[in-house]
Chain A
Amino acid sequence: MDILKVKNLKKIYHTKKDEVLAVDNFSFNLKKGEFVAIVGPSGCGKSTILSILCGLDKASDGLITMDSNLTFGYMLQGDNLFEWENIYKNCLLGLELQKKVNKKSKNYVDKLLSKYGLTEFKNAYPHNLSGGMRQRVSLIRTLATKPDILFLDEPFSALDPLTRLAVSDDVYKIIKEEKKSAIMVTHDLAEAISMADRIIVLSKRPSTIKNIYEIKLANKSTPINNRKDKEFSKYYDLIWKDIDYHV
């Protein structure tokens, strides 16, 4: 079942000197429980698409169709934890802003904290936690408001490569476990193949869809294991050729 339909999305940026066509003719549908990754050359407008989809930015043209009750969670670069609040308060942030803090929602946060090994850090402050744990807190904060779709805008790009691998594995498991749909923007092709069910490859600016790949690995498992799949490198070669990547 498609929970989000995007048709002919277009975005023009206006500056004093110029107007720039950033995104053109972008259409795709997101299925319930699906994990879609968007890859493309840097500066091609990947993040623009996400901000439009979650309502932080306005499209110049196009049609986005979805259930009006659909809710979003947005994770952007870095964990953006509030250093002056403890872990528990950080997790409750979205609920507090939406005035949804009650027994039920608090129980849910407690459940998430214990499920993902953070209960004993409830009263700790972010600087006491490792990079991976911080990212988990950030994800719990997003999940606490029970969003139907998660938008991940290069959420791991501030992490060092090893932590990044472990954290993406972690986050993937949590997203699948909580049965969320997700759209992730990344510039890491291997990360995209290891996590996504489908990959949308964008062209250079103005970004249009070049290709959409269904990722069908022989033994689909967690991101770290997926990297060892025999189909993995085939997809890597295939998609790599498709990306206009110039250094």
Chain B
Amino acid sequence: MFSEEHKRYLKSIKRNKFLVRFVQILIIVLLVVLWQLAADFNLINTFISSSPKAIVSTIISLYNDGSLFHHIWVTFYEVMASFALGTIIGILIATILWRFKFLAKVIDPYLTVLNSLPKVSLGPIIIIIAGAGTSSIILMALFISVIITIINVHQSFTNTDSNKIRLLESFKATRSQIFFKLVLPSNYNNIISVFKVNLSLTFIGVIMGEFLVSKAGVGYLIMYGSQVFNLNLVMTGIILLAIMASLMYYLILFIEKRLTK
């Protein structure tokens, strides 16, 4: 059994955690209430700033005409597809560069330039090549995440503990054994942080793509809303995006827990 002091210590940790969560929720509730009150008392122009009630009724009407989940699904699908492609292709190329140092040296300046290039500038070219549709959006999001994935993953692969590599070499390990036994598993944590960065980059890419070309999706809702001066729709889109992004972030946290258990 714990001593009284230890019990008090545990209690204080618990209380602190509860307080943090409480204040977090309080802030969002207060903001929503203040926003609504300001709208009700005409302190703000609801045409520009919308209001919580208007957002809720927009969501309900989108739900009623059956398009709410369609838009969410389109964006979700595009994010997942480009996230998966960007991560897999990025890790694959990083692996090839780790294996072939000469190639890594050759390609290094190109990666640096591509990384600093604002990928949105590639938009028009991508649309011409891939057509004005979903594939353009996925390609654009892919471009945004894949370069940084290659750079980060390759860097962490090459930073693998050299003593451990020597140890494996002393057992006469092949390069692929070194990769699968040491390089990959020792970098799980780094790969997870790449996941996190990639997810937000992919979101940026997909929404950017939906702004440029789309017939559906949350980015489309925002774009359409701004064109017809329906700011309720714009705000609704932003709220939907915030919810989606945080849900996906928690999904990655869940995967992280499973992988690093």
Contact = CB atoms under 8 A, between A and B. Distances in A.
A74 interface: yes
Interface stretch (B62-70, B164-172, B192-200, B220-228): B164-172
Given A93-B181, A97-B177, A97-B181, A80 B171 contact: no
Contacts of B168: 93, 97
A97 B178 CA distance: 9
Chain B binding surface, main DSSP class? helix
A97 B173 contact: yes
B9 interface: no
Interface in B173-201: 173, 177, 181-182, 185-186, 188
Interface string A28-58: 0000000000000000000000010010100
Interface in A93-116: 93-94, 96-98
A93 B177 CA distance: 11
B108 interface: no
Contacts of B185: 82, 84-85
B163 A93 contact: no
A77 B163 contact: yes
B161 A80 contact: yes
B170 A93 contact: no
A145 B168 CA distance: 13
A99 B125 CA distance: 51
A93 B171 contact: yes
Nearest to B260: A84
B171 to A, nearest CB: 4
A82 B172 contact: no
A133 interface: no
Contacts of A94: 171
B186 A97 contact: no
A76 interface: yes
Contacts of A84: 185-186, 188
A145 B171 contact: yes
B256 to A, nearest CB: 14
A86 B237 CA distance: 48
A206 interface: no
A62 interface: no
A78 B182 contact: no
Nearest to A78: B163
Given A82-B185, A82-B186, A84-B185, A97 B171 contact: yes
Nearest to B188: A84
Contacts of B164: 80, 82
A78 B161 CA distance: 11
A56 B170 contact: yes
Contacts of A72: 170
B161 A74 contact: no
Contact of B171 (A82, A85, A98, A151): A98
Interface of A: 51, 54, 56, 72-74, 76-78, 80, 82, 84-85, 93-94, 96-98, 145, 151
Given A54-B170, A82-B182, 17 more contacts: A56-B170, A73-B170, A74-B167, A74-B170, A76-B163, A76-B167, A80-B167, A82-B164, A82-B181, A85-B185, A93-B171, A93-B181, A94-B171, A96-B181, A97-B177, A98-B172, A145-B171
11 contacts: A56-B166, A72-B170, A80-B161, A84-B188, A94-B171, A96-B181, A97-B171, A97-B172, A97-B173, A98-B171, A98-B172
